[in-house]
Amino acid sequence: MMQRVLTLRLAPLRVLRSRSSPSVRPAASMSSLLITQPQYSWLKELGLHEDNAGVYNGAWGGQGEVITSYCPANNQPIARVRQATVAEYEETVRKAQDAWKVWADVPAPKRGEIVRQIGDALRRKIKALGSLVSLEMGKIYVEGVGEVQEYVDVCDYAVGLSRMIGGPILPSERPGHALIEQWNPVGLVGIITAFNFPVAVYGWNNALALICGNVCLWKGAPTTPLTSVAVTKIVAEVLEHNHLPGAICSMTCGGADIGTAMAKDERVGLLSFTGSTHVGKQVAMMVQERFGRQLLELGGNNAIIVFEDADLNLVVPSAVFASVGTAGQRCTTTRRLMLHESVHDEVVERIAKAYKQIRIGDPWDPSTLYGPLHTEQAVQQYLAAAEQAEQQGGTLVCGGKIMDRPGNYVEPTLITGLQHDAPIVHTETFVPILYVLKFKTEDEAFAWNNEVKQGLSSSIFTKDMGRVFRWLGPKGSDCGIVNVNIPTSGAEIGGAFGGEKHTGGGRESGSDSWKQYMRRSTCTINYSKDLPLAQGIKFE
């Protein structure tokens, strides 16, 4: 979701890079790895070792480049993973296709039972897996555990859905005919996920794809490979226990070559990609070139709009959570705060005060509310954005600096005084910078919300019910998530998640998102002895 400047010449080689991932660093020596230290021995409860295989297709392997995973809180190496080669990718796809022949014959409710067991297995490891997310991605511990819980919740949702998916029997205009809408799996679902939600986004796709009768091939972010390995080990154990092919849920850790192969592979019935708008566009073009199907969950330049009648006791904690939660690295992070001129100064003062009271520390400390950025590259992007904002007329209320401590820590930043259409305001920067804009009228605020290229999440704070329904209506927000009196972040799994415009248009998780993972056929069955034609046509 971070905008990235790439030349078209290099673009195909960068498909796999997630949001703000740096170039992969050289493998670290065993003696310096965190996993070898006693306080990190819990990592081995997840089946992790100093060196880990990065390919799973029923058997573990990996003959590609060795990469090291680093902890954003101290930039120390955690452990190593050996990635897939293109040859191993080819082998994995073949095994996944063979596994589909078995999985497609399993009745949907029975597939739901397997997904239920996956959810239960995740529950048993939720603290250790949540701790790994915190250690490797950098988000605070409660968010790491919450992310695993989201996968569990989607599994629960999918179990019930496994007894409900299907199409209607439609009335036919012809006597002795039945009109049926039949839904079938697409086959192999490729899933490319980003660093910021290394468990949950895979879970959204995996649980629904499985109950629909598909097999999955996962490529996680190159900077969170240990999480990919740990999750796959949990899922693989469930499949093995049920005597099912492990390739039903395959994994290939890898570089841009693997990501590009997935995008171009006609055997991949659906490619779900989560990442930046820039890279997502290139993925979409490669998939479309082969007339493939894609599910894109890309950038979001999200806004909260605060009207003069808003409850400021709801506004302030909502804006703070949505702007600095996960250190500003959620696709639904609030990046623009639009304040009515009558409440502007008070809200800015209260948010600035709250920013200064945020508990900053090691992400695995339960008392911490704010952790590091994921990479050193993201820190540089943060500094560049703050500088550009000031150059374009913004006033730095608080923040704007790197923190004097180990790791990728930066100060939560609040900037006022910018024009609503300033270039930096229209640029999604995946860091904790909140741009505050002052508005006068409802029409003005709604227009500003919609003028950015992305259309993911949005929210207004008001007590005016007429305004609420104007906001929800055709002249209101053009986003996929349209909230009232709550933050832009923190969506529930029961609703469809995704956005419009440059956000990609895909929908994951709840509602009827399951349809993305299936193909639809309209079937007409003649059980009469006559052959009447539709529309009353006679052909005699």
Among 65, 88, 297, 428, which one carries the catalytic annotation? 297
Rounded-to-integer distance, Cα 491 and Cα 508, Å: 12
Rounded-to-integer distance, Cα 227 and Cα 139, Å: 13
**C-alpha separations of 186 from 100, 112, 269, 516, 523 in Å:** 10, 17, 5, 9, 17
CB 311 within 8 A of CB 461: yes
Torsion angle, alpha carbons of 355, 361, 365, 366, to 10? 0
Question: Strand (E) positions, 360-447?
Answer: 395-398, 413-416, 433-439
Between helix 200-211 and helix 225-241 the angle, nearest 10°, is 30
Between helix 225-241 and helix 126-137 the angle, nearest 10°, is 160
**C-alpha separations of 307 from 43, 304, 379, 484 in Å:** 48, 10, 33, 11
3-state secondary structure 164-223: CCCCCEECCCCCCEEEEEEEEECCEEEEECCCCCCCHHHHHHHHHHHHCCCEEEEECCCC
Q: Which residues contact 444 (CB under 8 A, 6 or more apart)?
A: none
Q: Would you call 297 a catalytic residue per the annotation?
A: yes
Give, in degrees to the nearest 5, the angle at Cα 512 between 459 and 277: 55
510: its two tokens:
């709840």
Burial class (CB in 10 A: 0-12, 13-18, 19+), 426: middle
Q: Which residues contact 31 (CB under 8 A, 6 or more apart)?
A: none
Residue with structure tokens 């999604």? 428
For residue 17, give the 3-state DSSP assignment. Answer: coil
DSSP H helical ranges for 247-364: 256-264, 277-289, 312-324, 344-357
Report the Cα–Cα distance between both ends of the chain, in Å, rounded. Answer: 60
DSSP H helical ranges for 415-459: 442-450
CB 431 within 8 A of CB 98: no
Rounded-to-integer distance, Cα 36 and Cα 44, Å: 10
269: its two tokens:
């019935």
Helices (H) and strands (E) in the chain, counts: 13, 24
Q: Which residues contact 191 (CB under 8 A, 6 or more apart)?
A: 201, 202, 205, 206, 209, 216, 217, 218, 219, 272
**C-alpha separations of 321 from 79, 143, 369, 472, 508 in Å:** 32, 12, 9, 23, 23
Known catalytic residues are 297
